[in-house]
């Protein structure tokens, strides 16, 4: 994620001038997830159950694939309050989980972008 100051504005210009090859950050991936893989990709596993999240009153936006780590962190905070500094490991685990999640999303984006570039190039080659 280096060179953020240069990358983020350039993304905006790319999306404005080349929308056919630049996925928007609001768009879901459009290609087959297994495209280009020998076998099947491993689907992500949701550890926390709906029941747990509901009883913990977890916000809807927090009910992602890191929810079980967040639940542990919240529980630790509740048990150790006001000495919440004891939960530094739980917090670190949650932030690491979020970072891994972000990395996955960044890879998905880049995969989508490259597949679009390839599709456009193939279409041009067919026209010529």
Binding flag, residue 15, other proteins (CB under 8 A): yes
Q: With respect to other proteins, which residue has the nearer C-beta, 35 or 46?
A: 46
| Residue from the set 31, 56, 65, 77 that interacts with other proteins by CB under 8 A | 65
Contact code string over 18-57 relative to other proteins, x by CB under 8 A = -----xxxxxxx--------------x-x---x-------
| Least distance from other proteins to the Cβ atom of residue 15, Å | 8
CB atoms within 10 A of CB 72: 17
Binding flag, residue 109, other proteins (CB under 8 A): yes
Chain residues in the site for other proteins (CB under 8 A): 7-9, 11-13, 15-16, 23-29, 44, 46, 50, 60-65, 101-102, 104-106, 108-110, 112-113
């Amino acid at each position: 994620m280096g060179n953020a100051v240069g990358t983020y504005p350039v993304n905006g210009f790319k999306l404005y001038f080349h929308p056919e090859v630049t996925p928007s950050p609001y768009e879901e991936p459009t290609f087959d997830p297994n495209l280009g893989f020998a076998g099947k990709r491993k689907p992500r596993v949701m550890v926390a159950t709906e029941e747990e999240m509901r009883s913990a009153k977890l916000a809807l936006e927090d009910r992602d694939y890191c929810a079980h780590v967040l639940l542990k962190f919240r529980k630790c905070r509740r048990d150790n309050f006001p000495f919440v500094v004891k939960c530094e490991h739980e917090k670190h685990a949650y932030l690491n989980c979020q970072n891994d999640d972000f990395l996955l999303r960044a890879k998905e984006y880049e995969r989508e972008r490259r597949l679009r570039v390839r599709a456009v190039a193939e279409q041009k080659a067919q026209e010529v």
